[in-house]
Amino acid sequence: MSTLRIHAVSFALFATASFFAGCAATTSMTGKVIQGGVGFVGVVDATDERFKSDGVAGVKVTVTKNPQEGGVRIGEATTDAKGNFNVVISDQSALIRPAGIAASGPGYQPASGVMNIPPKAQRVLIIVRPAGSSGMR
């Protein structure tokens, strides 16, 4: 009878651990991709006026942890018709050190930067240059 009880307790512990592992916390990073004369990735306040401007659709935004060591992808999203994106980041360890953020899309030069994942009150603004432009005037 005690063996049966041990197996029942073991199963209950396993089921509980599996449940909580499946409920791991996630966070998200929101922002916008716009066109400009220089490539830029930065954190700005959510009320930044540039969020009212036209965005660039179809740009892939990728977030990696440990970018200095080659990077491991921890989130990815594609901008909507207005240039907005929301990257879900499931690896919470990425929140304690800088992450790599890269954007690339057809007809635009890639833009990238390394920074901490911003809190919800802030947004990521990415500026991409049209392909073939030098950014010089």
Taking 90 as the threshold, does the pLDDT of residue 42 lie above it? yes
76 vs 16 pLDDT, higher one: 76
Quick check: 31 and 51 in contact, CB under 8 A? no
Taking 70 as the threshold, does the pLDDT of residue 83 lie above it? yes
Q: What is the rounded CA–CA span in Å between residue 69 and residue 46?
A: 31
Residue 9, C-beta contacts closer than 8 angstroms, at least 6 positions apart = none
Average pLDDT score over residue span 58-69: 88
43 band by pLDDT with thresholds 50, 70 and 90: very high
Q: What local confidence, expressed as pLDDT, does residue 131 receive?
A: 92
Taking 60 as the threshold, does the pLDDT of residue 55 lie above it? yes
Q: What local confidence, expressed as pLDDT, does residue 24 receive?
A: 55
Taking 60 as the threshold, does the pLDDT of residue 57 lie above it? yes
Quick check: 99 and 72 in contact, CB under 8 A? no
Quick check: 118 and 31 in contact, CB under 8 A? no
Q: What local confidence, expressed as pLDDT, does residue 19 receive?
A: 42
pLDDT tens digits for range 105-124:
999 999 999 999 998 889 99
All structural domains of the chain, each given as residue ranges with its CATH number in brackets, are 26-128 (2.60.40.1120)
Bridge partners of 108? Answer: 130
Taking 80 as the threshold, does the pLDDT of residue 7 lie above it? no
**pTM of the prediction?**
0.77
Taking 50 as the threshold, does the pLDDT of residue 81 lie above it? yes
Q: What is the rounded CA–CA span in Å between residue 69 and residue 102?
A: 15
